[in-house]
Structure 1
Amino acid sequence: MSRVSGKGSLFDRLEPDLLQRRSVQSNELPARIHSIKRNIELLLNTRQGFSQSSPDVGLPEFTDATSGSSELLIRTSAGIRDAIQSYEPRVIVRDVHFIPNPHAPLELNFRLACVLAVDSKDAVLEVDLVMNGHNRHYRVL
């Protein structure tokens, strides 16, 4: 049975070294980016400990009242990076940057700079995240 790059069996796709370097073709890029963004949104809206089969999936609760706002931003950024690095192997997160929005003080805005293999080359993928302060729900833009 011949294998097409990026379309192996389930066990082939679970092999972390193979998955990291699989490249998407340019014509498949919009669908791949949509899939990655959807997975990131689902991942960030999952809280650690809520999945019996994988208790580390998702973000930890950042409700420590003793933390200052700058420490909370650092912990949130690190949590986002760690979750994506662990559970979205199609991208490599290079940077998570907080972007203040004075017009929406209850929202936290982040920009992710990620690397995605396209046509066997690394391409930069920027993903914007908005976390609603009322319900702590993340939206990927």
Structure 2
Amino acid sequence: MPRSGGQGSLFERLEPDALPLRVRSRQHMASERIGAIKKHLQWLLNTREGCSQSSPDLGLSDFNDAAVGSADLVVRVRRDIERLIAAYEPRVHVLGVRATPDPEQPLDLHFRLDCLVPIQNVEEKLEIDLLIRHQDQSARVT
């Protein structure tokens, strides 16, 4: 069943159990689009710079040598996030990336992304929370 462009990855669009485009509501389509964007951001932010020969700048830079929680590390990771999204996620326009420290998890890096996302030709403001775990440097997007 053919699906419209920009609604998730190729494999998500070929999902046989998905509702036809004409049956889905605007809210359902927006939710699908945001979910696909978050999934792609999580994939992007879990890659490491230099791991792709065809795109050497793809991924976050290695920050093992930096002191966790230092202002320099937070600024460097924030810049990497902005650079990566600008280069590899054209559906999102990042207005700002703010560090949002969590006193209960002081070793992890928490960020909030303020973004504009086009949904059915209307720019919608979206906040995306991002957690980069200190232990394994994995990123989780919510």
Q: Which TM class, normalised by the smaller chain length?
A: 0.7 to 0.9
C-alpha spacing 1:67/1:122, structure 2 compared with 1 (3 Å): same
1:93-108 correspondence to structure 2 within 5 Å: 93-108=94-109
Where 2:113 maps in the other structure, the secondary structure is strand
Where 1:51 maps in the other structure, the secondary structure is coil
TM-score (norm 2): 0.77
Where 2:82 maps in the other structure, the secondary structure is helix
The yes-or-no answer on 1:91 pairing with 2:97 is: no
The structural deviation recorded for 1:112 is 0.4
Map of 1:28 onto structure 2: 29
Map of 1:54 onto structure 2: 55
TM-score (norm 1): 0.78
Q: Equivalents in 1 of 2:66, 2:58: separation in Å?
A: 23
C-alpha spacing 1:63/1:43, structure 2 compared with 1 (3 Å): same
The gaps in structure 2 that reach 5 residues or longer are 8-25
Map of 1:82 onto structure 2: 83
After the TM superposition, list the runs of 4 or more consecutive aligned residues in structure 1 that deviate by more than 6 angstroms. none
**Matched-pair identity in %:** 41
Where 2:114 maps in the other structure, the secondary structure is strand
Equivalent residues of 1:51, 1:57 under 8 A apart = yes
CA RMSD of aligned residues (A): 2.3
Structure with more contact order per residue of length (Cα contacts < 8 Å, sep ≥ 6): 1
